[in-house]
C-alpha cells in the first residue's frame, strides 16, 4: 500500500560513478582523441506516495537500479557501446541514454525527474524531459 500524506511530493536522489574512456570525433580539441573520465551520475526520483515504512523508494533499490544501468559502461570505451557506436558519447547524450534506460526499471508510483552527469568535478550536464 502507498500512502499520500500531506499533499506534497518527495524527491529522492542517489549517485554512482563509473570509469570509462571516450573520444569525440569532430571535436576541435584534444577531446577528439581517446581519453578517460570517472563519470559521476546523479539521478532524482519523485513521487507522492510513501509505502508502509514511510519510504518513497528505498535508496538501496534506487542505487541498485542505477548501478545496473551504469555497469554496462564501466571500464569500457564508450564509443564501442551502443548507442555510442553511432552517436558521440558526450555527457549530454550519456545523460539522456541513462535516463531512458533507468526509467524502464521503475515501478509505476515513482517518476524519474532528471539525470545529471559530471565528466569532472567542474563540468556537469543535466537531462530532464
Ligand atoms: N557540453 C560538453 N562539452 C564538452 C564535453 C561534453 O560531453 N559536453 N566533453 C568534453 C570532453 O570530454 C573533455 O574530456 C572534457 O573537457 P574539459 O571539461 O575541458 O576537461 P579538461 O579536463 O580538459 O578540463 P581543463 O579545465 O581544460 O583542464 C569537452 N567539452
Ligand atoms: Zn572527455
What would the pLDDT profile of 31-59 be if each residue is shown by its tens digit?
Answer: 999 999 999 999 999 999 999 999 999 99
Question: From atom 13 of ligand 1, which residue's Cα is the shortest distance away?
Answer: 31
pLDDT of residue 6: 73
Angstrom distance (rounded) from CA 33 to CA 21: 10
Residues acting as catalytic residues: 31, 75, 119
Angstrom distance (rounded) from CA 75 to CA 52: 39
Q: Cell numbers 544501468 label which residue? A: 69
91 pocket-lining for ligand 1 (C-beta < 6 Å): yes
120 pocket-lining for ligand 1 (C-beta < 6 Å): yes
- Could you tell me the domains of the chain? 3-127 (3.30.479.10)
Angstrom distance (rounded) from CA 41 to CA 81: 17
Q: How far is the CA of 7 from the centre of ligand 2 (A)?
A: 43
**pLDDT tens track of the chain, all 129 residues?**
676 767 799 999 999 999 999 999 999 999 999 999 999 999 999 999 999 999 999 999 999 999 999 999 999 999 999 999 999 999 999 999 999 999 999 998 999 999 999 999 999 999 999
Beta bridge partners of 123: 120
Residue environment code for 50-61, b if the CB has 16+ CB neighbours within 10 A, otherwise e: beeeeebbeeeb
Amino acid at each position: 500500500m502507498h500512502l499520500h500524506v500531506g499533499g506534497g511530493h518527495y524527491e529522492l536522489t542517489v549517485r554512482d560513478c563509473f570509469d570509462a574512456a571516450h573520444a569525440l570525433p569532430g571535436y576541435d580539441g584534444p577531446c577528439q582523441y581517446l581519453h578517460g573520465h570517472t563519470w559521476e551520475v546523479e539521478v532524482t526520483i519523485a513521487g507522492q506516495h510513501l509505502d508502509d515504512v514511510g519510504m518513497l523508494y528505498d535508496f538501496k533499490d534506487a542505487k541498485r537500479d542505477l548501478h545496473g544501468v551504469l555497469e554496462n559502461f564501466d571500464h569500457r570505451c564508450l564509443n564501442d557501446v551502443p548507442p555510442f557506436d553511432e552517436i558521440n558519447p558526450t555527457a549530454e547524450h550519456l545523460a539522456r541514454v541513462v535516463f531512458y534506460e533507468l526509467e524502464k526499471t521503475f515501478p509505476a508510483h515513482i517518476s524519474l525527474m532528471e539525470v545529471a552527469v559530471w565528466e569532472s568535478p567542474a563540468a556537469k550536464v543535466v537531462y530532464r524531459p
